[in-house]
């Protein structure tokens, strides 16, 4: 049943929204850097823009729900959980393999699956 869930159209749309968000995040960061902003400021602008676009995309397109204040707070909780999972996997891979990149790569499908499930059954329910 879980396997079928990840093969359905909704999950593919969820992943497409993530790719769109990443492109906006990276693109805005690059524009900000070229405009002379400091790297951390540029990265923060991209991150915040990506966060807003990602939430709006999933609320309206992936899960077809009207935005509600409780869903935004729940979304931010999911972001925090996924950030923690990412840091955990990066630290674990660094400790066991000496490769933080391996942990980051492993974290990508983990946080995508976690984000989808929590969004589908909790954030946008």
- Is 98 in contact with 116 (CB distance < 8 Å)? no
Tell me which residue of 66, 83, 78 sits closest to 118, measured CA to CA. 78
Whether residues 107 and 55 fall in one domain: no
Instruction: Provide the domain limits for residue 120.
Output: 68-125
CB 106 within 8 A of CB 89: yes
**pLDDT band of 7, cuts 50, 70, 90:** low
Give tens-digit pLDDT for 60-70: 999 988 767 88
pLDDT value, residue 68: 79
CA distance 33 to 30: 5
* Domain termination residue (choose one: 45, 66, 87): 66
Q: Is 88 found in the same domain as 58? A: no
Which of 29, 51, 66 terminates a domain? The answer is 66
The answer on pLDDT for 5 being more than 70 is no
- 81 and 114: one domain? yes
Rg of the chain in Å (alpha carbons): 16
* CA 117, chain centre distance (Å): 13
Among 49, 66, 83, identify where a domain stops. 66
* pLDDT of residue 6 exceeding 70: no
Report the domain count for the chain. Answer: 2
């Amino acid at each position: 049943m879980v396997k079928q869930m990840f093969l359905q159209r909704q999950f593919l749309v969820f992943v497409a929204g993530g790719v769109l968000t990443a492109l906006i995040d990276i693109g805005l960061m690059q524009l900000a850097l070229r405009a002379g902003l400091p790297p951390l400021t540029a990265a923060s602008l991209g991150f915040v823009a990506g966060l807003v676009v990602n939430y709006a995309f999933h609320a309206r397109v992936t899960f077809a729900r009207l935005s509600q204040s409780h869903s935004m707070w729940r979304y931010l909780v999911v972001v925090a959980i996924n950030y923690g999972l990412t840091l955990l996997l990066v630290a674990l891979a660094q400790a066991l393999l000496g490769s933080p990149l391996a942990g980051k790569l492993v974290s990508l499908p983990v946080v995508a699956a976690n984000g989808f499930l929590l969004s589908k059954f909790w954030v946008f329910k």
